[in-house]
Amino acid sequence: MTDVFARLQSFGDRFRLERGLTPGEDWIGCDRLLDPWSDELGRVLDAERRVSGQVSDHATALTVLAVYAGTVTASAVLAWAVEGVVIDVRPHNVAVRLSRRHGFEAVGLREPAVTEGSLETLVSWVLDDHLLPLARAMRVRTRAGLRQLYGGVAHGCAAAFCVASRRGGDAAQLERASRLFLAAATGELDRLGTVVRLREGGREGLFYLRNTCCLYYTSAERVRCANCCLDSAEDRLANYRRALAEGGEPS
């Protein structure tokens, strides 16, 4: 079990999962976020709107969900892809700590449960039990479009494969895993974007071309995400290739 968590963290801090949570450290239980009118969901949305300077509730929800899916449950997706195991990230077992910056300061597990699980188990725990109900709760609370919210879910899940592929992961293995996951995903996530594998300057990696927008460009930062669907696919691919050639991350 320890090896699984160490392997995940080797791909970067976004895949770090804290275990043995201490009461009083301001953890927010993720199961509380599925109630659209809970104080906890309000705290998460208010924190992001405050730090990013978003212009509306629905734009804030779209931004939060994309980041949430790319951090809170991404480790479970990556663990399945590289280790063939499933981490229990059902809402009752996960908690988050808010950050003073965009995103979350930490993600923790109440019980670090790892099982030799199937793809069906992964989809059930990550999507059916967690991310899709959260999207529906945000829809009720903010009136954000469900397709756009699901697009954030798809983007966040794809990030697990893409980021790892550029940080030492086997790009071919991760590409196969991404296709299997998106094909099995509920919520028709496979229609909301495409994972592409690129090679440039002796390096290769996976990148995501999303079909929906998280509206982060409406925040105080006024910047578009590297995979923003408001840019053409050709422009995004050129940006990705440039990042590979220069050894950096797309911006």
pLDDT in tens, 62-114: 999 999 999 999 999 999 999 999 999 999 999 999 988 878 999 999 999 99
Nearest residue to 193 via CA among 164, 144, 153: 153
Indicate the pLDDT class of residue 201, thresholds 50, 70 and 90.
confident
Phi, psi dihedral angles at 109 (to 5 degrees) = -110, 135
pLDDT at position 218 over 80: no
Nearest residue to 196 via CA among 209, 183, 185: 209
Share of residues in the chain with pLDDT > 70 (%): 98
Q: Tens digit of pLDDT for each residue in 142-186? A: 999 999 999 999 999 999 999 999 999 999 999 999 999 999 999
Q: Tens digit of pLDDT for each residue in 19-68? A: 988 877 799 999 999 999 999 999 999 999 998 888 899 999 999 999 99
d(CA 208, CA 193): 7
Alpha-helical segments (H) within the chain: 2-9, 39-52, 57-69, 74-83, 119-123, 132-142, 146-165, 171-184, 233-246
175: its two tokens: 């590409």
- Break the chain into its structural domains and give their ranges: 2-246
pLDDT recorded at residue 2: 63
Share of residues in the chain with pLDDT > 90 (%): 75
pLDDT recorded at residue 176: 98
pLDDT at position 11 over 90: yes
pLDDT recorded at residue 228: 80
54: its two tokens: 């978003």
Q: Which residues contact 46 (CB under 8 A, 6 or more apart)?
A: none
pLDDT recorded at residue 53: 83
Output the CA angle 210-136-157, nearest 5 degrees: 35
Nearest residue to 216 via CA among 21, 27, 35, 51: 51
How does the average pLDDT of the chain come out, rounded? 92
Cβ neighbours of 1 (radius 10 Å) = 11
d(CA 163, CA 167): 6
Q: What is the mean pLDDT of residues 115-124?
A: 94
pLDDT recorded at residue 1: 56
d(CA 133, CA 131): 6
Instruction: Please count the CA atoms within 13 angstroms of the CA of 226 that sit on its side-chain side.
Output: 16
pLDDT recorded at residue 41: 98
Distances (CA, A) of 156 to 42, 66, 173, 201, 208: 21, 5, 19, 27, 10
d(CA 46, CA 44): 6
Q: What is the mean pLDDT of residues 121-143?
A: 98
pLDDT recorded at residue 23: 74
**Look-up of token digits 């995004």:** 236
